[in-house]
A and B are shown apart, each in its own frame.
Chain A
Amino acid sequence: MKKDTELAAEVIHESKHQLQGVINTLTEEVGRVILGKREQVRLALCCLLAEGHLLIEDIPGIGKTTLAKVLAEILGMEFRRIQCTSDMLPGDILGVSVFEQTAGTFRFHPGPIFTHVLLTDEINRSTPKTQSALLEAMEERQVTLEGETRPLPRPFFVIATQNPLELAGTFPLPESQLDRFLLRIELGYPDRSSEHDLLRGGGTSRELAQIKPMLTPEKVIHFQQMAAGVHVSDTLVEYIQNILDFTRTSSLFHMGLSPRGGLFLLRAARSWALISGRDFVVPEDVQKILPYVAGHRLRKADGQGEMVRDELMALLLSVPVPT
């Protein structure tokens, strides 16, 4: 174990600046298609490097799908897309075995999940059964069908979108399944000048076609290993524990963050530190990604609504940073 981290630390030291450049170029390139959303792009990259999955929640037509497409394209990874509907079955995602008369055997036809980047559009439109099949695969990074376990390709990155407004005919994801997404982000409307450029440009399809792959799956895996090796000091762990304790004892929340929530928080913070060009995590990294990690994991004290961003910020302000 120790050897691994030492090795990772060395790797980081070498390629930290390389990565810094890569991230900036990536953000720049994606920014040409997704106008004025640098922050969200960086968060999506952060999520990818932390080996987590991303949930984008926003109204239709805001650019969710485009973001996913651009990311897949630019990272040089295989991209598949599922449009979720209520009559979809697990087999439609995972794949099915079909009897072939000529050979006299069953042959497995892999489903769309066997890819690097999977975009599941409107995940809350599929039935709980399908949702759970998908989310299980996300967690375990393998598919078990008819007693046979098939690993999914690496890296494996799921971008799911859901529409918060359309409630008819949807099956909202329960907390346990929301928990599998490392980050949840909203895109939001573009600012005035970005939208001006967008309207002048007449859509994103032209820019999208010009995107060239800049990385390979192997590179991505390498960067992911770097992120996992980012140093976390005892003081920082203490700070994360302060945050966890606060969510558990404060009456603002229905339920506190789970230990897994804490692990995810740490993982995302590492990744963010790497993106920010550091090989160690500082409290600011945690503060930066906390709203995106905790937003879908905390319920208000009445058990009904989710926390508003402002309330999460208030939370941040009440947890002291250890000295």
Chain B
Amino acid sequence: MIYPDRQTKPILGAIVLCTLPHFTYISPIVAAACLLLWGYAAAASAYAWRLPGRRLLLVFAGISFAAAMSLHEGFTIEAFVALLSLMAVLKLLESRDLRDRMITVILCYFLIAGRIFFGDSMGVTIYMLLTILFTTAVLIQVNQPQAFFPPLLRLGGVLLLQAFPFMLVFFLLFPRFQGGLWGRTHLNTAQTGFSDQVGFGNIAELARNTEVAFRVEFAGEVPPRNQLYWRGIVLWDFDGRTWRRGASRLSPLPPPEADPGDIAYTITLEPHNQHWLFTLDLAREISFRQAYLQNDHTSFRWRPITSRITYQAVSNPDTRLYSRKHFPKHALELPEQGNPRSRAMAETLFRESGGGQEYIGKVLEYFREQPFEYTLQPPPLAEGDDLVDQFLFRNRSGFCEHYASSFAFLMRAAGLPARVVAGYQGGESNPYGDYLAVRQSDAHAWCEVWLPATGWLRVDPTSAVAPARVTGDVLNALPAEETSSLLSFLYSTPLGQRLRGMINLWDFVNSQWNRRVMSYSANEQSSFLTALGLGIRSSEELPPLLAIILAAATLILILVFALFFRPKEPVRDLTAEAWLDFCRKMERIGLPRRPAQGPLDYLRHICQQRPDLAQNADKLVSFYVRLRYAGKGRPDEIQSLRSLVKKFNPGRSA
């Protein structure tokens, strides 16, 4: 019978603290299972319930493995973290001795480390440090069950402080590899941020996500807000429902010449697991390894961006979009059928206007004058092919992608080449750090139209409907009933102002943390080593060399420990060995000694079961008892006990 012991509670506490931050990343089913198991462990410890047997736990472990793998798309990081979360508490439920408890606590350290895969913001790092502190205190308690817990936290803190220099050395010197250990972000990030297509409604989904997409620091003045169009991708192909990038027909942008109106800035981009980088309209240069500007002024990197990167870029709002003399043919392609009313309207309006420029004006005027509404919750469009018709003539309320899509449709229907650009618009300037934070909620889509006189021209139909969206008037951009009470609180009350200041401060601290600590990568490492005088010519040599140095250092440390801290050779306890031999012999004939059974009890038991052995066993046991308990053992008596045991032959079991 196994009961939970007193140490269950602190270990459970450590498991809970270490697992909680994973809950947003692992499957809710796994999280619920964790909660159930925690509750069971807590109740078992409080009411001294029996713990489940090994077989049941084995079944649980199997189920956990299957669940973790099937609920997280196979062998992903999430799956392993989920498995770790479940296994930690299952291990707790089968903890019988010190070794089990130690393993459980060590699993907790793995759980803590696992959080790094999902983000390294400063808040997370502080939380991780606190959980390390707590877990270390629990680790001490596991080894000193008598100790009170609060002083252990202090002791744990002292231990961590002692480990700090090592951490620093490892942080600075441990070989770093470009692109991280796994080369892939976790599933969750892959879902946030927008994908490479724009349909009716998928940017509106992003509008409530306040995560920072990237932060920008301008070298000079910050351009006016209505100029802050952050270009991400350009979409060409429309199938009546969704705009896609289509097959790549792009080539690198030829290097432009410097211009007095250039704006230089630095962007720190959070990982989004896609290939594109964001730049201010319109980028002329971008400096980042493996990234280059294409001739639609978007930037592209061959490897997806799986870790936070920082890059410099130069843009000029006055730059003409690079355009060939002729627009590409697919800038006019539309589905052959569908949306007859929109097509008819485009034809009529185009016929009435003198040229492309005037036609654009007329369409914008149409948006402005008809009762169009800018909203986060557009009424759903019915299934069917005529989505643009539905939007233009019936629903008339939508988010930026509705306006951009239908505007581009109207352009192409009238024979004007047009495309949709997706990216971000705006950004909140942070008074503490003098930078702009662009959030997922700033996601935006707009259009570009090709005119023979100007080439590609940016037109933002959303600004015709909701000018406040572009000028940054947060409170008036959306209809009053959609402005959340939190938003109006933040922007219109004094307390809200202060709170907003605090949010800005926190964002600033995080950005500094990212820039100064977390961005320390292979490049920085090699320049740091050069500064130390350990310059190595090629940065490729660095990781293997460091690995060799570290391996050598570790080996030396191990040797030193092995030489100086070798545990004392335990003195062989011949009496115990002889006694155990005797017990083993008896066990073989089916008379095992219970661990809690004293020698005299055992003798009585043997005499009852096997009277034929009584005489020999009695002699042997009394020798043992004299040696062990009477304090009269002499070396020759140990010898005689050993020979007695050796000669003792219980025969076969009866």
Contact, CB under 8 Å: B599 / A282 = yes
With A233-B630, A279-B630, A282-B629 given, is the CB distance from A250 to B596 under 8 Å? no
B534, CB-defined interface residue at 8 Å: no
User: Shortest CB–CB separation between residue B101 and chain A, in angstroms?
Assistant: 10
Contact, CB under 8 Å: B598 / A283 = yes
A280, CB-defined interface residue at 8 Å: yes
User: Shortest CB–CB separation between residue B359 and chain A, in angstroms?
Assistant: 81
Residue from A231, A245, A320 within 8 A of B596 (CB atoms): A320
A316, CB-defined interface residue at 8 Å: yes
Report A268-293 CB contacts with B as 1/0, cut-off 8 Å: 00000000000111111001000000
Question: How distant is the Cα of A235 from the Cα of B631 in the complex, in angstroms?
Answer: 10
Question: How distant is the Cα of A318 from the Cα of B46 in the complex, in angstroms?
Answer: 20
Contact, CB under 8 Å: A251 / B576 = no
Which 8 A-B pairs give the minimum distances between C-beta atoms?
A283-B598, A320-B595, A280-B630, A284-B598, A323-B576, A231-B631, A249-B145, A233-B629
Chain A interface (Cβ within 8 Å of chain B)?
231, 233, 235-236, 245, 248-252, 279-284, 287, 301-302, 314, 316-323
Question: How distant is the Cα of A194 from the Cα of B4 in the complex, in angstroms?
Answer: 44
Interface size on B, residues (CB 8 A): 30
Q: List 25 A-B contacts (CB under 8 A).
A: A231-B630, A231-B631, A245-B145, A248-B145, A249-B5, A249-B145, A250-B3, A250-B5, A250-B6, A251-B48, A280-B631, A282-B600, A282-B625, A283-B598, A283-B629, A284-B598, A284-B600, A287-B596, A287-B598, A301-B48, A317-B594, A318-B1, A319-B596, A320-B595, A321-B599
Question: How distant is the Cα of A291 from the Cα of B3 in the complex, in angstroms?
Answer: 20
Contact, CB under 8 Å: B579 / A323 = yes
Question: How distant is the Cα of A249 from the Cα of B6 in the complex, in angstroms?
Answer: 5
Question: In this complex, what residue of A is CB-closest to B630?
Answer: A280
Chain B interface (Cβ within 8 Å of chain A)?
1, 3-8, 45-48, 145-146, 576, 579-580, 583, 594-601, 625, 628-631
Question: How distant is the Cα of A320 from the Cα of B6 in the complex, in angstroms?
Answer: 19
- Residues of A close to B628: CB separation below 8 A: 233, 235
- Residues of B close to A322: CB separation below 8 A: 576
Question: In this complex, what residue of A is CB-closest to B44?
Answer: A251
- Residues of B close to A318: CB separation below 8 A: 1, 596
- Give the one of B145, B579, B594, B630 with max A CB within 10 A: B630
With A280-B629, A280-B631, A281-B629 given, is the CB distance from A251 to B3 under 8 Å? yes
Question: How distant is the Cα of A20 from the Cα of B4 in the complex, in angstroms?
Answer: 44
- Residues of A close to B580: CB separation below 8 A: 323
Question: How distant is the Cα of A314 from the Cα of B47 in the complex, in angstroms?
Answer: 17
Question: In this complex, what residue of B is CB-closest to A242?
Answer: B596
- Residues of A close to B631: CB separation below 8 A: 231, 233, 280
Please name 18 further chain A to chain B contacts, defined as beta carbons within 8 Å, in addition to the given A233-B631, A236-B629, sorted by A numbering: A231-B629, A231-B630, A245-B145, A248-B6, A249-B6, A250-B3, A251-B5, A251-B8, A252-B48, A282-B598, A282-B625, A284-B598, A287-B596, A302-B47, A317-B594, A320-B595, A322-B576, A323-B579
Question: In this complex, what residue of B is CB-closest to A280?
Answer: B630
Question: How distant is the Cα of A317 from the Cα of B598 in the complex, in angstroms?
Answer: 11
- Residues of B close to A302: CB separation below 8 A: 47
Contact, CB under 8 Å: B145 / A283 = no
Question: How distant is the Cα of A170 from the Cα of B123 in the complex, in angstroms?
Answer: 58
- Residues of A close to B597: CB separation below 8 A: 321
User: Shortest CB–CB separation between residue A99 and chain B, in angstroms?
Assistant: 53
Question: In this complex, what residue of A is CB-closest to B49?
Answer: A251
- Residues of B close to A319: CB separation below 8 A: 596
User: Shortest CB–CB separation between residue B97 and chain A, in angstroms?
Assistant: 11
User: Shortest CB–CB separation between residue B629 and chain A, in angstroms?
Assistant: 5
Question: How distant is the Cα of A250 from the Cα of B145 in the complex, in angstroms?
Answer: 10
- Residues of A close to B46: CB separation below 8 A: 301
Contact, CB under 8 Å: B629 / A252 = no
User: Shortest CB–CB separation between residue A44 and chain B, in angstroms?
Assistant: 23
Question: In this complex, what residue of A is CB-closest to B624?
Answer: A323
